[in-house]
Amino acid sequence: MTDFRQQPEAAKKAGSDTSFAAGEWMGSAMENDPEGGCLVTKQVDRQTAVMLYANKCEAFSVNIYNQGLEFRSEC
């Protein structure tokens, strides 16, 4: 799975002018994304974050990250 958190943090550190905030949501344009995508994140609690990605091609994805979740396959 792609860790989408890396690019907005890198953009913020580089002083990118694409960073923005809307209430508790933080976002920025994704660097080097050929579809011109943007990622916004919200920290829900200490372990959970919600990430939304959307691009100019009208594609989007929703990701939920929780430090305590563990998926197991018992096949």
Contact 55, 64 (CB under 8 A): no
Give residue 1's pLDDT.
46
CA angle in degrees (0–180, nearest 5) for 9-27-12: 30
Note the residue count of the chain: 75
Give residue 69's pLDDT.
82
Residues 6+ apart with CB under 8 A from 20: 26, 27, 28
Give residue 25's pLDDT.
93
Along the 75 residues of the chain, how does pLDDT read in single tens digits?
Answer: 455 555 555 555 555 578 889 899 999 998 888 999 999 999 999 999 999 999 999 899 999 999 888 777 776
Give residue 39's pLDDT.
93
